[in-house]
Amino acid sequence: MLLKANYGSLSWGLPGGALEPGETIHDALLRECQEELNTAVMVDALTGVYYHSAYNSQAFIFRCLLPDTSAIQLSHEHTEWQFWDINKLSTVQQLRISDCLNYSGVVVSRKF
């Protein structure tokens, strides 16, 4: 699932955002999904940690389940959501999603 931002370059990206002071990555995941989708997600597993040199930041990718897509109500930060075919994603997104879908119990770590 990708969300279309209504700020910056208006790009499509995974739900998520920055950690707030005192938050764990799991706290941030649940908060961001609640804020951006207005629905709770069920966390299955942390599947990958990715360093992005262009932003000097880490991205944590989780496999989650959406119990009810009909309950999704986007925040003011996004205009659309949709499920994408993995072949239509950027190379980096394809790799991160492939790692997530093929998760074998070992968290992947990569640099871009």
Beta strands per DSSP E along the chain: 2-5, 12-13, 42-52, 57-65, 78-82, 108-111
Q: Could you list the pLDDT tens digit for every one of the 112 residues in the chain? A: 999 999 989 999 999 999 999 999 999 999 999 999 999 899 999 999 999 999 999 999 999 999 888 889 999 999 999 999 999 999 999 999 999 999 999 999 999 9
Closest CA to 15 of 70, 67, 60: 60
Domain that holds residue 18: 2-111
Rg (CA), the chain: 14
Provide the β-strand partners of residue 4: 12, 80
Number of structural domains found in the chain:
1
What is residue 67's predicted lDDT score, i.e. its pLDDT? 85
pTM of the model: 0.86
What is residue 69's predicted lDDT score, i.e. its pLDDT? 83
Q: What is the CATH number of the domain that holds 12?
A: 3.90.79.10
